[in-house]
Chains A and B, each alone.
Chain A
Amino acid sequence: MRAGKKVSAEVSSPKKKEKKNKNKQENEEKENEMANKTQLKKVQSDKQKQSSVKKHDEEGQKLQRGKERRKEEDLDNESESGSDSDESDYQDFSEDISGDYESLGQSDDGESESEGGQSKSSGDEVHGDNDDEDNVDDHHREDQSDGSEDHQGVEESDSSEDEVAPRNTIGDVPLEWYKDEKHIGYDISGKKINKKERQDKLASFLANVDDSKNWRKIYDEYNDEEVELTKEETRLIRRLLKGKAPHGDFDPYADYVDWFKYDDALHPLSNAPEPKRRFIPSKWESKKVVQYVRAIRKGLIKFDEPKEEKPQFYLLWGDDSSAAEKANRLAYIPAPKSKLPGHEESYNPSLEYIPTQEELNSYQLMYDEDRPKFIPKRFTSFRSIPAYENGVKESFERCMDLYLCPRVRKKRVNIDPETLKPKLPSRKDLKPYPTTCYLEYKGHKGAVMSISTEASGQWIASGSSDGTVRIWEVESGRCLKVWEIGEAVQSVVWNPSPELPVLAVAAGLDVLILNTGFGSEEEQKRVKELLRLEIPTAPDGIDNMASIVSWLQDERLEGIRLRHFKNVSSVEWHRRGDYLSTVMPAGESRAIIMHQLSKKLSHRIPFKLHGLPVSSVFHPTRSVFFISTKKNIRVYDLLKQKLIKKLETGLKEVSSIAIHPAGDNVIVGSREGKLCWFDMDLSSKPYRVLKCHPKDITNVAFHRSYPLFASCSDDCTAYVFHGMVYSDLNQNPLIVPLEILRGHTSSNGRGVLDCKFHPRQPWLFTAGADSVIRLFCH
């Protein structure tokens, strides 16, 4: 252990040498101690004497403890009497401790005595806790303290912080800052204080076992040294542990000294007799009390009831920002800062800031707004700078600006506008869809009002305002058949059944059922049979029906003529091809008639009409019937004969309607150019409203198999959209605009009058008012 220390001492700085000296002193102490121990027997006699003193002392102590209270009350007498009895005992003890007390200085005899007793008692208590050995140790220490009085004084001066400044001067900083350093800080002269070599645990433990004073030693982290506590310090600690005042001199129970005594004064402060009111109860107080009592009885005064604890809620999903905003409603809006002057505003700017004569000339040609407000100029000195002519004006304007200009904090939403766009799939991924016109079907003389494709997609039929119905071959654009109807054709519809190649044509008052002549011979036979009326009129039909519709044989066109009482605007076949519905917008309550081809019968629909009917459509799979009036669309169940749903379009005037082949989605075109998509499972309001046409939408169409729909308009364009309906009910239909199909020319303010998809190819037919039918292919 010592060898180690020596090694460390060799390495260490002069400070260490001091330490070394100290260690030497300690060693000396220890040697002293050893000497003391050898002298133990000598001292034995003294000890016995001391122990007898102690016994006596203890008795005295007990007495003193019992009397403690009294002693406080009349300390003076007691101390006098106590001092009398215990004088000799104390004297012994005081001898022992006098060395310690010398430094403290004794002010008062009595006090010192009492204090000595107290201190003694405190020491006793500690002793009681410790072993007998400690007791012995204590005495040894007392002896030793006697012996080594001189160097203890040195130690005291070294370690006590009150008297001597700490040798480390780093101040009140966390010590871990120096944890990794070699030094612990700096001494008063600014030199580094190096860390001591640490003893390893075992060595220090052994040292501690050897050292009997070990229990007094405390490691001072700040100065990196071991400090031995002095007796006074241990006592001070003990006092603190007991909860007493740290300083032994302090008397907590000192007598009250009444410095001002007036008992024997000649004149009291006031000579007035005690007033009467001091002795009688207050009238006004009692009145007030009565008043309160009454009020309490009446219930006017209510005592505070314990408030019900309201449960504290807070918006878990609420927007924190809004709450924060409410808090500082009257937020201060700072005035806009005026621009700081730059280099060019300098009185002597660099040459590159000075405009050349040409630039100055060019400023003259500029508009006032574009002209620079400040033209830099060079002045050689401060003296030559003239007054700024606009100074007053500008500061006035600035004031006006600050005062008059209302300032509003603009809420700038920091969002990339691209992210606000709906995520639509790319058009390329949605191919095929019609894009280019490759074929034209020319032959009509007037506007083509209506077209219809045959179920297989081999032919299309068209009706025109020139009074003809034509059938075209799709693949070649050849006109195969022409019928002269005589009246402007409003609507042409192929029978959806492939076995029944007939056309329904609406023209004027009539609806004609025409045989196209296609199909095999058997089919032709069946069609001819179907289109022959046994009885020219139907007298045994319902009477009022006869007034509305009459079935006539048309010999010339080899078909059936259904003569209505009002102009027919549209015809629609049922999917089986036996029923067809006709719409007469002017027919009021009899506006929509249902015809059965096989039985040659007509019926009025059993529903009340609300508003002017525009068109009627059969559901593609179920026995459901859609009637669109100008504003709304009503959906009826034909079997139950009741209204299922009412679709509110919110449009001014509905022009056309088409139903998705699955039957749950409906598109509606309007005269104002809006297209509504209804998801009937979703709501009776439109799922999407597409405003794309600047003019009336004339027709809308769904593709039978591809997820496509189209709208055509009087602006001579047709729009093609991707309209995907998912079988998953959770997924809303996806609508993507795909293509604007142009090519038709306007005629009499009308553009494209009808559009139909090819039943099997992603192709769109458009019928124009320019008497051309176009085929747009993918």
Chain B
Amino acid sequence: METHIETPEDDNSRRVQVRFVTKLNSPLKVPSNSIAIPSNLTRFGLSSVVNNLLQAVNPEWKTEPFDFLINGELVRMSLEQFLLAKGISAEKILEIEYIKAVVPQKEEEPSLHDDWVSAVDGSNPGFFLTGCYDNLGRVWKSGGFCTHILEGHSGAVSSVSIINTDGVKHVTVATASKDQTVRLWKFDTEEPVIHPKKIRSFKILRGHKASVQSVAAQTPGDMVCSGSWDCTINLWRTNESNAEGDQVSIKKRKGNNQIDESQLEGEAVSTLVGHTQCVSSVVWPQQETIYSASWDHSVRTWDVETGKDISDIFCGKALNCIDVGGEGSALIAAGGSDPVLRIWDPRKPGTSAPVFQFSSHNSWISACKWHDKSWFHLISASYDGKVMLWDLRTAWPLSVIDSHKDKVMCADWWRGDSVISGGADSKLCIYSGIPIQ
């Protein structure tokens, strides 16, 4: 194929023999014969070459941005510089794998809140849940369309978590608040609503002696765990049929002349003690393992059965957020009181040094989340007002979302192709159309 005409002709530049390969499906495949391209091409140039190639096959092809991998690393500079930096020989035919560029393509309508958005959970593709500093939790069908308002906390909601998504109709969620309680809520997502419906919690989980900072649901299961300023992690049951607790709570409520008898109270099943400072974030990705990050500069892994911590990663900075995902759902990403997002591989023996460090932020990192399908992608939100999309294969962020006016307090993936983030500008922004295969 004659492609020399299409590429900008430049006699001074050196040429590299490349072959474009991809794992994408057939309409995106280009012929696999090698071509010579100028070595000073950047990602944009490479992308236009691929688009040209595709156009040659299919005249109706619309241009699309691509990202390029050489030896498993994303190209982030000109091809020549990249080859020099990585010490790759330009003599051989270079195989360049191209993937769809992971960038948000659309910014949807923001969901406006009354106060700072402190927490968001987008693990259910049907809706997402936010917590707010006005003591309310909210359920959103899509951007700007609120279906339910979770009312009852007497302090700012600090964390939210969707517990079970198996029953499509009835969804259970948990919210943690600075009023030292965790509340469980139940609602029907399918029922048609015009105005946001106010609902009350069906169970109040009391037991923490200070603000609850984080709540996480057991991924396959019906338990939640919560981390608090009292340095403990409490495990709770979420089932309704808590007979003895039920009665106790009713009595108590009656004594207090409260109206809602329906509210249950729950006691902690067990308490994980070991952190010496505020447990700022917990995740419960596997049935028997809880990961927690704390202001005491450590990331701990807890065995739920025994209640002991299995491993302990010392970081040196107070940590605000933690998430587990990536390759084999085993990499721990955590961010905290400095602008560095650190990723540890606990499977590596004998080292507690992070395997990746991303430091493009300017302030504290408030949230980090792995993409639940991709091994490489994760997002981080920071107090500098930016949400960054990271790929493990490059040290630069794939994209920087800079639409918040103030601190970004929380961020999450939604529906696999969107990023939702809430901040101190009382706004929840949604960016969709992120092509992650």
Contacts and interface: CB of A to CB of B under 8 A. Distances in A.
Contact of A439 (B156, B209, B383): B383
Contact of A438 (B116, B133, B316, B364): B364
Nearest to B362: A438
B295 interface: yes
Interface in B208-234: 209-211, 229
Contacts of B116: 476, 478
A760 B407 contact: no
A456 B383 contact: no
A761 interface: yes
A762 to B, nearest CB: 9
Contacts of A439: 363-364, 383
Interface in B225-260: 229
Contacts of A438: 337-339, 363-364, 383
Contacts of B383: 438-439, 477
Contacts of B210: 456, 458
A763 to B, nearest CB: 8
B295 A760 contact: yes
Given A439-B364, A760-B277, A476 B337 contact: no
Nearest to B231: A456
B292 to A, nearest CB: 16
A454 to B, nearest CB: 10
A478 B133 contact: yes
B320 interface: yes
A456 B296 CA distance: 12
Q: Determine which residue in B116, B118, B364 has the highest number of CB atoms from chain A within 10 A of its CB, and name it.
A: B364
Interface in A420-458: 432, 436, 438-439, 456-458
A182 interface: no
Contacts of B277: 457, 760-761
A476 B409 contact: yes
A192 B115 CA distance: 119
A735 interface: no
A763 B338 CA distance: 12
A456 B277 CA distance: 8
A458 B338 CA distance: 18
Nearest to A432: B316
Interface string A753-765: 0000000110100
A722 to B, nearest CB: 17
A475 B364 CA distance: 9
Given A475-B320, A476-B424, A520 B295 contact: no
Contacts of A398: none
Contact of A477 (B118, B156, B211, B407): B407
Interface string A266-292: 000000000000000000000000000
Given A520-B180, A520-B209, A761 B337 contact: yes
Contacts of A436: 338
A438 B364 CA distance: 7
A258 to B, nearest CB: 119
Contacts of B229: 456, 458
Query: Which size class do B's interface residues fall under?
Result: 20 to 34
Contacts of B184: none
Nearest to B118: A476
Contacts of A760: 277, 295
Contacts of B364: 438-439, 777
A294 interface: no
B157 to A, nearest CB: 12
A458 B180 contact: no
Contacts of B320: 475
Interface in B112-149: 116, 118, 133
Contacts of B211: 458
Nearest to B213: A475
Nearest to B211: A458
A529 B152 CA distance: 26
Q: Summarize A's interface: helix, strand, loop or mixed.
A: loop
Interface in A447-505: 456-458, 475-478
A778 interface: yes
Interface in B373-392: 383
B392 to A, nearest CB: 25
A777 B295 contact: no
B162 interface: no
B43 interface: no
B193 to A, nearest CB: 30
A778 B317 contact: yes
A520 B280 CA distance: 19
B209 A761 contact: no
Contacts of B180: 520
Interface in A742-762: 760-761
A234 B338 CA distance: 110
A445 to B, nearest CB: 19
A477 B118 CA distance: 12
A761 B133 contact: no
B278 interface: yes
A458 B337 contact: no
A458 B231 CA distance: 12
Contacts of B363: 438-439
Contacts of B337: 438, 761, 763, 777-778
Contacts of A763: 337
B318 interface: yes
A430 to B, nearest CB: 14
Interface in B314-339: 316-318, 320, 337-339
A436 B420 CA distance: 29
A214 B337 CA distance: 108
A761 B364 CA distance: 15
Contacts of A761: 277, 295, 318, 337
Contacts of B295: 457, 760-761
Contacts of B118: 476
Q: Determine which residue in A456, A475, A478, A763 has the highest number of CB atoms from chain B within 10 A of its CB, and name it.
A: A475
Nearest to A760: B277
Nearest to B336: A777
Contacts of B156: 478
Interface string B159-199: 00000000000000000000010000000000000000000
Contacts of A432: 316
A612 B336 CA distance: 46
A434 B118 CA distance: 26
A777 B362 CA distance: 13
Contacts of A457: 277-278, 295
A495 B337 CA distance: 26
Interface string B251-291: 00000000000000000000000000110100000000000
A458 B118 CA distance: 16
A323 to B, nearest CB: 58
B420 to A, nearest CB: 19
A706 to B, nearest CB: 12
B278 A458 contact: yes
A499 B266 CA distance: 24
A777 B320 CA distance: 14
A777 B209 contact: no
A476 B115 CA distance: 13
Contacts of B209: 520
Nearest to B382: A438
A252 to B, nearest CB: 106
A137 B210 CA distance: 129
Given A520-B180, A760-B295, A476 B317 contact: no
Contacts of B278: 456-458
Sorted from nearest, which 4 A-B pairs have the closest CB atoms? A438-B363, A777-B337, A438-B364, A458-B229
Given A456-B278, A476-B409, A761-B277, 14 more contacts: A436-B338, A438-B337, A438-B383, A439-B364, A439-B383, A458-B210, A458-B229, A475-B320, A476-B424, A478-B133, A520-B180, A760-B295, A778-B337, A778-B338
8 contacts: A438-B337, A457-B278, A457-B295, A476-B407, A761-B277, A761-B337, A777-B317, A778-B317
Interface of A: 432, 436, 438-439, 456-458, 475-478, 520, 760-761, 763, 777-778
